[in-house]
Amino acid sequence: MIWSCDPHKPSVDIPFYIYKQYGAPVYYGEGCNPGIDFDISQGTPVIAATEGELTFVGDSDPEASYSGGILVRVQNAQHFDLIYAHLNKVYVKKGQLLKRGQLIGLSGASNDGVPYLHFGICKIGANSQKYSQTYDPEKFWIEGRPQCFDPKADYSKYSQIGITIPIACKAYAKKLSEATEK
């Protein structure tokens, strides 16, 4: 089956540049980016976009140039899996239950040296590099728009499938960065 890529820009501005949109043309998988690639510096704190159980920590394909770094996979109840790829350090382990906003690790780079975070949502247990087995993260933002995690906010009023940006922002990013340096 041939898949038609459907790249698009986020509905509102977010505090990070998007390196590659969901659905943008790529040379692997089915030819369409199966997630969002955030253009961030190495060492940026990556956080849980929502609650879930960590089901995988490792490198999915160490020989591929589009791969590289550490991949973390988190299952969100019986809804979907969240993918955080190209990390250079992790602070979580398999089987751990994560809360929204919890530090997962620090961003790294792909095998071709490009620093970014690949964030994706796929069907539970599916191949996260196949576009046909993924979901557009744009459809899961809390209140329909990407927003930073706020450690003071009460997220209990939102559906468990609602997500926040998987990168720590502003003062929270600074706090997490300082904590990882100790």
pLDDT in the model for residue 74: 97
pLDDT in the model for residue 61: 64
Q: What's the one-letter identity of residue 143? A: E
Task: From 94, 87, 90, select the one nearest 102 (Cα to Cα).
Answer: 90
DSSP-derived 3-state class of residue 144: helix
CA-to-CA distance for 64 and 51, rounded, in angstroms?
30
Task: Tell me the average pLDDT across 41-70.
Answer: 85
Give the chain's domains with CATH numbers.
17-181 (2.70.70.10)
At CA 46, angle to CA 27 and CA 103, rounded to 5? 145
- Band of the pLDDT at 10, cuts 50, 70, 90? very low
Task: From 78, 73, 15, 44, select the one nearest 174 (Cα to Cα).
Answer: 44
pLDDT in the model for residue 2: 42
Whole-model pTM: value is: 0.90
51 touches 97 (CB < 8 A): yes
55 touches 80 (CB < 8 A): no
Question: Model confidence over 120-138: pLDDT tens digits?
Answer: 999 999 999 899 999 999 9
Helix residue ranges per DSSP H, the chain: 170-181
Question: Model confidence over 78-93: pLDDT tens digits?
Answer: 899 999 999 999 999 9
